[in-house]
Amino acid sequence: MTHQALSLLAELTYRCNLQCPYCYNPLDLRAYADELAEDDWLRVIDQAAALGVLQIHFSGGEPTLRADLLVALVRRARQRELYSNLITQGTFLDDALLGKLVAAGLDHVQISVQGAHAPLADAIAGTAVHERKVAALARVLQTGLAVTLNCVLHRANIDEVADIIALAEQLGIRRLELANAQLYGWAFRNRAGLLPSREQVAAAAETVASAQARLRERMEIVYVLADYYERYPKPCMHGWGQRFMTVAPDGRVLPCPAAAAIAQLSFENVRDRSLADIWEHSRSFNAYRGMSWMPEPCRSCDRRAIDFGGCRCQAFLLTGDARATDPACTLSPHHALIEHAIADPGAATGAERLVPRRA
């Protein structure tokens, strides 16, 4: 494996007007209040392009809370021939901002909804925004911009997956991402309330598969699995430090958006060092790069070049050691942690209620 940076996730801010309990942002949101300035971000884009990065994803938090900055960065990304993607929940996407983004050269936008219908979706978002989002979606589609509709699935909304697909059909969406919640940050805090049951996951997978077959020519449905219910872990980030990097709002560069939680590591900042230097030489990016760091059972496993031992952040969150085999793997000596969590989802940690994300 040779590593080559291809994709950069630019988290412009962790601020957000919604409070999704499945948010993977870190719990200590206030620690990121000292946000990078426009000059810093422009430099990051220039350095990323020089490093060979081809796609940039503007995210957060809610990136449109820094609308002027966002437009300037999309423009610079286009100048550097980077493909730009905006990941937003859409509540601020009015015609004026949309027009500026399209003029600046935005290639694609991913907009999320919290569910298929207002009462539940609004309850998950923590505020009444569903109808406004659907209206925003219709406007975005009218501009002709390439759109992915995203919905994060969990215990409270996974049963209405058919309705979410129907909503996407109604709107004329070409690409739909249905992503089982990835349990980091606030989502990990809310794991007990978010984890669906095995029956729920099986029913959703069946509904999605039949919709994929039925809509083949009209809509691509990307289904992100619930790794707690899989036999093997996800090939997280296509391997640590192989393709992806994230720049957090405060300028720290992370091999994975959830990596800041790994207390065993510290992360370099684009205010102090160049992106190329950090990518190539930092201790954090090299910590789990390649395969030589792997312990057993990964070290001698046939699948180590397929899934790279799973997710380092999940290994840390569950075992306290980021080097461990991802416990989601059925071969992991820690797999009982997963079995215990799914044995009685909703009661595993005793946390009954979902805690809304807040600063």
Partner 1 sequence: MGGEQSIPAFSRGVRLRRVDDSRTVLLVPEGIVNLNAPAAATLSLLDGARTCDDIAAALSARFSSEPAAIAADVRELIGRLAAKGWVVLRTASR
CA 332 – CA 189 distance, rounded (Å): 23
239 binds ligand SF4 (CB under 6 A): no
CA 216 – CA 218 distance, rounded (Å): 6
CA 245 – CA 223 distance, rounded (Å): 23
Choose the stretch contacting partner 1; rule: CB under 8 A; options: 61-69, 139-147, 276-284, 324-332.
Answer: 139-147
Footprint of ligand SF4 on 70-129 (CB under 6 A): 89
Choose the stretch contacting ligand SF4; rule: CB under 6 A; options: 27-35, 142-150, 200-208, 306-314.
Answer: 306-314
Number of neighbouring beta carbons within 10 Å of residue 162: 15
Provide φ and ψ at 74, rounded to 5°.
Answer: -60, -40
Which string of b and e fits 74-95 if b means at least 16 CB within 10 Å?
Answer: bbbbeebebbbbbbbbbbebee
Residue 253: strand pairing partners: 247
Footprint of ligand SF4 on 32-71 (CB under 6 A): 60-62
Instruction: Spell out, one character per residue from 220 to 249, where the chain touches partner 1: x when CB under 8 A holds, - when not.
Output: x-----------------------------
Among 2, 30, 39, 81, binds partner 1 (CB under 8 A): 81
Q: How far is the CB of 217 from ligand SF4 (least distance, A)?
A: 31
57 binds partner 1 (CB under 8 A): yes
CA-CA distances (angstroms) from residue 73 to 3, 30, 45, 93?
26, 24, 8, 17
Provide φ and ψ at 57, rounded to 5°.
Answer: -115, 115
172 binds partner 1 (CB under 8 A): no
Please name which of 158, 162, 256 lies closest in space to residue 198, comparing C-alpha atoms: 158
Choose the stretch contacting partner 1; rule: CB under 8 A; options: 19-27, 91-99, 216-224, 334-342.
Answer: 216-224
Among 6, 118, 145, 331, binds ligand SF4 (CB under 6 A): 331
Torsion sign, CA atoms 117, 118, 123, 126: positive
Residue 54: strand pairing partners: none
Residue 309: name its binding partner from partner 1, ligand SF4, none (Cβ under 5 to 8 Å by kind). Answer: ligand SF4
293 binds ligand SF4 (CB under 6 A): no
Q: Which is nearer to partner 1, 91 or 110 (CB)?
A: 110
Q: Which tokens is 22 given? A: 């499945």
Beta strands 55-60; 83-88: pairing state: parallel
Choose the stretch contacting ligand SF4; rule: CB under 6 A; options: 39-47, 95-103, 198-206, 296-304.
Answer: 296-304
What is the binding site for partner 1 (CB under 8 A)? 6-7, 52, 54-55, 57, 81, 83, 85, 107-108, 110, 144-146, 148, 174-175, 216-217, 220
What is the binding site for ligand SF4 (CB under 6 A)? 16, 18-20, 23, 25, 60-62, 89, 232-233, 297-298, 301, 303-304, 307, 309-310, 325-326, 329, 331, 357
